[in-house]
Chain A
Amino acid sequence: MAHAEAHAEGQQHPLGIYIKIWALLFVLSTFSYLVDYFHFEGYLRWTLILLFMVLKAGLIIAVFMHMLWERLALVYAIALPTIALMVFIFLMTHEADNTLLSRGIYFLGLGGS
């Protein structure tokens, strides 16, 4: 019984989709390397880095880790807790700004009273 169940649980898909995603990951990695190679700066650089990062991460999770085919009960159980990380990032960016401001005022004597 346990064995019959296991085969129903397995994730089996045609090889073609893996090969295509594999190739796509190579292309995206090359693009993200070229961002550095061509010395893009400022917002263009950061936008491109984040874009290629999100695309690569999404493809790996969706296809290689089979999230595309899992039931929503599992997808949401894994995906929703990461919202806490977004909150954490938001908090720490403000904390870092605050620290930098304090250092500027008290250590370097910039601005303020």
Chain B
Amino acid sequence: MTNSSTGQVAAQPEGMQSIVADWSSDQRAFKNVSWGKAMMWIFLLSDTFIFSCFLLSYMTVRMSTTIPWPPPSEIFALSFGGEPIPLILIAIMTFILITSSGTMVLAVNYGYRKDRAKTAILLLITAAFGASFVGMQVFEWTKLIVDEGVRPWSNPFGAPQFGSTFFMITGFHGFHVSVGVVFLIIIARKVWRGDFDKGTRGFFTSRQGRYEIVETMGLYWHFVDLVWVFIFAFFYLW
């Protein structure tokens, strides 16, 4: 492997020794990862802690309440003319997010192949799935707030903490999805125009972009999907 800092070919140790070698090299610690990608990972780590604090406070109030917890399976049921199907809206939202993760990963792949049209279209499809996810969340919130009368301080089903944890956790996640959709559209536009081929400088950082930005965007999008996996398991299924 070529050492990118010196241009020399150096034998790099494997396993645990490689961690020590990388971190003590008096150079960059993350050898084949650009600073942009490393910073995205560190941001995602900090975001992990934020979401974990929300889920942990939810766990704490749910474990310590003396009033029965509302049954999510029935609250989030929907009927299409017949018997209500339990949790069906949440299941559809889960599948939408998984699908969008798949189109995102394909966009990253075609980005590195410099296939501009396919990358931009896949990014826009990902954004469309994300927007439909947010739309379904708006529907869900409206149904809960207007029809069922769920409030952050009370609800007709049981423990009052249900409302506050629900709005906090799904609201913060929905905000992440919305931000992701906006950035997906921005990146798709840049790819479509060929900014990453021509080395056009960005308006904010004045730096030249590269197709790696699509991968960094992908990391964020997969993280949003990842958080939903935990919310789905702990909030809706538990």
Which positions in A face B, CB cutoff 8 Å? 3, 5-6, 8-13, 15, 18-19, 22, 25-26, 29, 32-33, 35-37, 45-46, 49-50, 52-53, 56-57, 60-61, 64-66, 70-74, 76-78, 81-82, 84-85, 88-89, 92-93, 95-97, 99-100, 103-104, 107-108
Contact = CB atoms under 8 A, between A and B. Distances in A.
Contacts of A71: 18, 22, 30-33
A6 to B, nearest CB: 5
B23 interface: yes
Chain B binding surface SS class: helix
B226 A60 contact: yes
B54 interface: no
B33 A13 contact: no
B212 interface: yes
B27 to A, nearest CB: 11
A70 B229 contact: no
Of B23, B210, B233, most A-chain CB atoms within 10 Å: B233
Given A36-B87, A52-B233, A64-B218, 7 more contacts: A9-B33, A22-B102, A26-B95, A37-B87, A49-B233, A65-B223, A85-B52
Contacts, number: 162
Chain A binding surface SS class: helix
B222 interface: yes
A92 B86 CA distance: 30
A15 B237 contact: no
Interface in B198-234: 210-212, 215, 218-219, 222-223, 225-226, 229-230, 232-233
Please tell me the size bucket of the interface on B.
35 or more
A96 B237 contact: no
Contact of B226 (A32, A46, A61, A95): A61
Nearest to B45: A78
A32 B32 CA distance: 36
Contact of B64 (A13, A19, A22, A100): A100
Interface string B65-98: 1100000010000000000001100010011001
A81 B22 contact: no
A92 B87 contact: no
Contacts of B126: none
A12 B101 contact: no
Interface in B81-136: 86-87, 91, 94-95, 98, 101-102, 104-106, 108-109, 112-113
Contacts of B215: 10-11, 66
A33 B41 contact: no
A13 B109 contact: yes
A18 B48 CA distance: 24
